[in-house]
Amino acid sequence: DKEMQYPWSEEVCQVLSNVFRLPGFRKNQLEAINATLSGKDVFVLMPTGGGKSLCYQLPALVFGGKTKGTTIVISPLISLMQDQVAHLIEKGIRAGMINSRGDLDDRKSMFRLLNSGDLSLLYISPEMLNTSGQLKSSISRLHSNGQLARIVIDEAHCVSSWGHDFRPDYKELKMFKQQYPDVPMIALTATANDRVQLDVMHNLELKNPAVFKQSFNRPNLFYEVREKSKDVLPEIRDLLTVKYPGKSGIIYCHSKMSCEQTASKLQQFGLRVTHYHAGMTPDERMDVQTKWQEGSLQAICATIAFGMGIDKANVRFVVHYTLPRNLEGYYQETGRAGRDGLYSECILYYAYRDASTMMTMIDRDECDFQTKEKQRSFLKQVVQYCENKTDCRRLQVLRYFNETFDSAECHKSCDNCRSSNSTDYEDRDVTEVAKNIIRVVRQLQNENVTMLYCMDVFRGAKTAKIQNANHDGIEGYGAGKGLDRIDIERIFHHLVTVDALKEMSSVNKAGFASSYLKTGGQASAFLSGLKNLTMQFPKKGTR
């Protein structure tokens, strides 16, 4: 078992579930954790939202039988630092920060904690390191006491003058490897081309680092959304008998009851299928899992409880009998197909009535209001995904992970790309529309506005909020009047995927996370006419 090969493996799993309360690792997390715990220097490239923090927060709590120690995290943005530290403290983790803000007393007590060696994680801003002699000597003392566990460089692209966000203070970070060559370093970033990566590794003087980088794209998976008819089971039977005879797969259902019913109906068709869910005994589940893994069962009707920790390489199809709860889940569940790299298919059966049922289930659930709101908005994203019949599926899913994706790279490996030559859709040049949108965002971006708000301004909505802020007077207000709302949304989303706009999330004073819309690195290329935007739209009369 790959996950159990290190002395700290058991502890790593315990911390994951007991402290972070997460069900499993995402791609490259465990690999990066094992590498740093082995004492290696590590470079991690992961899309935003991919889960970089866990790669260093978890190891900070694992001691592998050795002395405890403090992990120093260099982070450039004080607001993100505060956010992270607050989350860690909430989880009962001893974390703190030292930055240029904060009053003298706070700082004093933080130094006391640091010097006592009792902090698991200390966040510092790079300029502190360069200006505070006290900080330098505290770190040095930790090191001589054998309590400097590791150094983390977050947003590591700031080290490189080739990057988009070079910060001179980051240059000085090379002193860590120079002064403490034995202390492992992790550098993490979401944005690095090869040149930036080399520059980062060179400037930080990483020693023969383990490199983990990834796109979230899974090129061997075909994605498709099908309309779910009232009587869809014969269609699923045909999938199993005609399309995938002798091949293994998973059919995801949304409840235990639905798993059992679906499985028993498919059995009546003579198929080797059974159910799997958390309501079964461990023995029953093990039995099903073994039979499926050997191939004596063709498919399993399962809840999302199935799949975690299961490593079957030749899963050829993943069918969603009901739509998933969120796109993240969809990505993880479909990700169980084709681990051997061979062509595999992911088919989602979508009916709006299923979405309404799930909405009602959320309403009835006993969790708090904020959680419900979150679940509702996740589900809405799934609905948008299902109803979108034009944009590349990969582009849509990867956008969720903030990964930019060029749909040409899909190579027609999704339903929407495959039918893109179909007669229902036509290319339209929307460069002027895009420019107007970018102008609107450029004028509003310093006022922390959401994408929804920018859409409203662009559409020329007459809300009190817009009028009170005098945003009905800005250039581009109402420029999108003649467009369908759904098209406006698609164009906004598209502009984010091509980096003309970007969403930045932050936590406000009340502790709520929001994301604000800003212009992105490619905005001026569009405004100056260097870049054009052509997108597909349904032909007139087909919507």
Do 138 and 128 meet the contact criterion of CB atoms below 8 Å apart? no
Q: Which residue is nearest to ligand ADP (CB)?
A: 51
DSSP for 123-178, please give it: EE-HHHHHH-HHHHHHHHHHHHTT-EEEEEETTGGGG-TTSTT--HHHHTTHHHHH
Look at residue 48 and give the partner it binds from ligand ADP, Zn ion, none, a contact being a CB closer than 5 to 8 Å depending on partner kind. ligand ADP
Which of 3, 6, 11, 22 is the binder for ligand ADP (CB under 6 A)? 22
Select from Zn ion, ligand ADP, none the partner in contact with residue 22, using the beta carbon and a kind-dependent cut-off of 5 to 8 Å: ligand ADP
- Choose between 263 and 395: whose C-beta lies nearer to Zn ion: 395
Q: Give SS3 for 498.
A: coil
Question: What gap in Å lies between CA 439 and CA 459, rounded to an integer?
Answer: 13
Q: Whole-angstrom Cα distance, residue 533 to residue 430?
A: 6
Give yes or no for residue 110 binding Zn ion (CB under 5 A): no
**Is position 460 an interface residue for ligand ADP (rule: CB under 6 A)?**
no
| 439 near ligand ADP (CB under 6 A) | no
For Zn ion, give the closer residue by CB, 150 or 218.
Answer: 218
60 lies in the binding site for Zn ion (CB under 5 A): no
- Least CB distance to Zn ion at residue 525 (A): 24
Q: In one letter, which amino acid is 319?
A: V
CB of 49 to Zn ion, least distance (A): 21
- Residue 534 has φ and ψ, to the nearest 5°, of -120, 130
**54 touches, from ligand ADP, Zn ion, none (C-beta below 5 to 8 Å by class):** ligand ADP
Closest separation between CB of residue 50 and Zn ion, Å?
Answer: 21
- Does 392 engage in binding with Zn ion (CB under 5 A)? yes
- Going by their DSSP bridges, the two strands 534-538 and 425-429 should be labelled as antiparallel
From the list Zn ion, ligand ADP, none, pick the one residue 501 interacts with, judged by a Cβ distance below 5 to 8 Å according to partner type: none
Q: Does 338 bind ligand ADP (CB under 6 A)?
A: no
Question: Helices then strands (H, E): number in the chain?
Answer: 23, 17
Q: Which does 417 bind (CB under 5 to 8 A by kind): Zn ion, ligand ADP, none?
A: Zn ion
User: In the block, which residue shows the tokens 């978890």?
Assistant: 58
Strands of 42-45's sheet in order across: 95-98, 121-124, 70-74, 148-153, 185-189, 42-45, 210-213
Q: What's the closest the beta carbon of residue 407 comes to ligand ADP, in angstroms? A: 23
417 near Zn ion, judged by CB under 5 A: yes
**Segment lying near ligand ADP (by CB under 6 A), choices 23-31, 171-179, 381-389, 419-427:** 23-31
Site for ligand ADP in 155-194 (CB under 6 A): none
User: Which residue matches tokens 């081309």?
Assistant: 193
Cβ contacts of 67 within 8 Å, gap of 6 or more: 146, 147
62 binds, among ligand ADP, Zn ion, none (CB under 5 to 8 A by kind): none
**Could you tell which of ligand ADP, Zn ion, none binds residue 51, using a CB distance below 5 to 8 A set by kind?**
ligand ADP
Two structure tokens written together for 422: 């179909």
150 binds, among Zn ion, ligand ADP, none (CB under 5 to 8 A by kind): none
The least distance separating Zn ion from the CB of residue 413, rounded to whole angstroms, comes to: 6
Contact 300, 333 (CB under 8 A): no
Contact at 8 Å (CB) between 74 and 154?
Answer: yes
List the structure tokens of 523. Answer: 């905005």
Which residues in 32-61 contact ligand ADP (CB under 6 A)? 46, 48-54
Residues that bind ligand ADP (CB under 6 A): 22, 24-26, 29, 46, 48-54
Q: Which residues bind Zn ion (CB under 5 A)?
A: 392, 410, 414, 417
